[in-house]
Structure 1
Amino acid sequence: MSRVTDEDAEFPILCETCLGENPYVRMSKEARGKECKICSRAFTIFRWLPGRGMRYKKTEICTTCAKLKNVCQTCILDLEHGLPVQVRDSALSIQDSVPKDETNRRDYLEQMAGGLNTVGQQPDFSGRAQPAGREMLKRMARKEPYYKRNRAHICSFFVKGICNRGNECPYRHEMPDGDPELAKQNIVDRYHGNNDPVARRMMARSAATAKPGSGLTQPPEDKSITSLFVLGMDASVTQDDLRAFFAPYGEIKSVVVPAKGNCAFVNFKHRKAAEAAAVAALDGCVIKGRSLRVAWGKPKPKGPQSELRQAKSASGGGASAGSLANAEAYPSQDPTALGAVRK
């Protein structure tokens, strides 16, 4: 019968948020200090203080289980985007490859810990094969680490009104104002991407922002609009690439790419060609491996001209003799014009 050996790690696998903003963090290490909450084998525990006013944090799962899912050992969130496993796997179409049965999981982890290749090809967490899903994860992810997640937990005795420790209490004296469902989180469910309340809330919020009729799903009522707005470009995508992608749907009048910007305008000659290109872009616009966002262009504003523009158009664009004669004369700044003598 196979036996999975205990883990002895030199450094934990952590995300930037859990590690904290202090670059000189001190950690305590305890070999075989606790059982992993996923594989139930003893592993090395690391414990540290992320910053002043924060709570002590420690690793919850072993490094082998963390590598299998590319997650942090403490918060069990994706290392690249900081999102729950359920959100990442749904966007990248990744199936859970870790067996949930204890016997099969033991053999699986033994092979992974030994570095064998008999388990099969591991999922690609980079999202190269799913550029649309990768762009969605980038929009959902935070731009900077969220260090408030490391704060102390709320004191349950303070909520009940019976805490008598005052300022010496290591927990926060605040009333909970969040969703009570988010307090019922399980590490095993988060690791496997099942029944995660945080993931359900994030995916519901993402689905609510994608309202029908926005972007390309509904053409604008103004029939004079025959241009599409392309966003998310870089230097690798050129005008010729855009023409080659949109040319099969109709005749293109022009392609405008600003010198400094990550966008472009594709102007079609006929409205039907623009509508056909918009319908095709609903399934995704991927050029040179880069997922681009496409939306309908907006009509040019047709407001009244400003008084200055009207005056210029009335005078032919130049200054008249009368306007020059009525112009206010300012005193000269030349000192010699006022009688000063040069030295």
Structure 2
Amino acid sequence: MIRLENVSVVFEQKKQQDIVAVKDVSLHIRKGEIFGIVGTSGAGKSSLIRTLNVLQRPTDGKVFVDGEDITNARGKKLRNIRRKIGMIFQHFNLISRKTVGKNVEFALKIQDYPKEDRSKRVKELLEIVGLSDKENVYPANLSGGQKQRVAIARALAANPKVLLCDEATSALDVQTTEEILQLLRKINRELDITIVFITHQLEIAKTLFDRIAVMSNGVVIEENDTYQIFAAPENEITQSLVKDNIKLPSEIVKSVKSEIIKLVYKGEKSVEPIISLANKNFDVILNILHGKIEYIKGKPIGILFVTLEGAHEECERAKQFIADNVEEITTYYNGKKGDPAWNIA
């Protein structure tokens, strides 16, 4: 659906060094998928996504949408191309003096949608985003989530093939964010719309994206399916972004005198009873202190902190058994020895 070939965006600065916002990026985004672009502030995400509808014209490279080269499109050709591409932003950009219905109708009007069909289409769009009862309400009387739903309805006005989301949930609380993500999943699934979503919020990436490109300093440093990005990141920057933030409370660490072991499970191993088997097969006591298992695109990743007590030889045998059956194992002694990335809350 979208192909970028060696795209760069450079902002020229008078009397200063030019700013390279995007550098030599090539991506293929498949029809019908939800593709995420993640990275910290200043990574070049917004500059890149704006090349996909030529809100930002690339300095170098080419952009193709639905097989058509849009890089140098202008005038009527560009307007026709943009009908295929809806866009929603972090800030909702609603017209305050117009009702919800009129806000959506305005989007139809500027897309030259037949006047006699606009009223029916407005009702269809508001039903899609769950705001059928808000057609005559003004934006000032809506919550943040409702305003974003209006913005989504507006973006869907011309039946686009692609929906671009520029930090579309950054201004929303956690519960409202999840509601918007559910709506976007529904739109992707039921309307077969390809979604490109940029964010710095990794929790969104875990639950929404099919594939992810990670950006840093204008460059795509890693691209893979979502599970692999979180389960086995290759680039150091990606590793720092997706690193688990589960922390062992300091009160627990101070009270434990024996070894503390951190175990990382991935895939099917996440649900295997490794701890029970170790307790059964060796003369040791393994006690779970803290942990979690989460599912990313239906596949589990688990982290457990456990204590290990027993004779030295038995403990070593137990640790070897565990190491053979988990992805990673790290041993600490009261939180003071081992990996410097030891997390204590």
TM-score, normalized by length of structure 1?
A: 0.26
Higher relative contact order (CA 8 A, sep 6+): 2
Point out the structure with the larger strand share.
2
* TM-score normalised by L of structure 2: 0.26
